[in-house]
Amino acid sequence: MAINYDKLMSLKTQGQEFQYGERETMLYALGAGFGRDPMNTKELPFVYEKNLVAMPTLATVVSWGAGNMRESGINYLMVVHGEQKLTLHRPMPVAARISVDTRTIGAWDKGEGKGAIVVTETVISEKGGNKICTLESTTFARGDGGFGGPREGAPVPHTLPARAPDQTVELDTRPDQALLYRLSGDRNPLHADPEIAALAGFPRPILHGLCTYGTCARALVTSVADYDPSRITGFDVRFSSPVFPGETILVDIWKDGSIASFRARVKERDVVVINNGKCTLKG
């Protein structure tokens, strides 16, 4: 089934309800790499119910499965996560009953054999209350070019500064990290099953892109935000290449006022895995 542009642009859901609690908040932080040193009292509030705080990027998993994009006609065997944007209207609660609205906000045709770009928006609010955050997710549908949609106007990524990074944060990933992170929602076997990974052309299961995203958020929270996640009001990235669990991630950071630009590299292979990162800070 090919993409039907009009149908794709009409896709939306409203008022889907989800609930999460302290357990999910702590599990997500563990999956992003917090708590490796149980004596690190600065990281403990992310993984221990005493004075618990939530990561901003918890927003990417609390409504996992929302929406109806499976009705879009996209060939999901050929998709990759292109970009992820997050705007926080208030700090993420550590537990909440939430209401979720989703819609398609754009689709661009790169041409036959060149794929398509589809952007969806997810708005998360406390049930009966105010907005918590807005997510924009860009899907690169490699097998769906030539559907007749617009060619121009696709999102332009944030530009990194031309100077050398102001600092680099080095973070390890564990060999079993994908198995832990998938418990937060994304059960795609590509991240757990060696046979499925081989069919996809990988020598072993890969880390979730959103786990790498959360790991980058950990780097920014623990450096420019001084362990205060409420200081982060936006977190945008472009995905470049997968990480294999067990590799070391180097996060290069440029600080310019309330904007911290960043990119992430795998130390062992010198490959950029996240690019054009933009972290927006209060004040």
**Catalytically annotated residues:** 186, 191
| Residue 113, phi then psi, degrees to nearest 5 | 80, 0
**Cα 54 from Cα 22, distance rounded (Å):** 9
**Cα 170 from Cα 192, distance rounded (Å):** 25
Q: What is the residue whose two structure tokens read 């590509």? A: 190
Write out the two tokens for 65.
């499965």
**Which residues, in sequence order, are bridge partners of residue 118?**
107, 139
User: What strands lie across the sheet with 96-109, from one edge to the other?
Assistant: 12-20, 96-109, 116-126, 131-141, 79-88, 232-239, 271-281, 259-266, 248-256, 167-172
End-to-end CA distance of the chain, in Å? 48
User: Element (H or E) spanning 44, and its range?
Assistant: helix 44-47
| Residue 48, phi then psi, degrees to nearest 5 | -135, 135
**Which residues, in sequence order, are bridge partners of residue 88?**
133
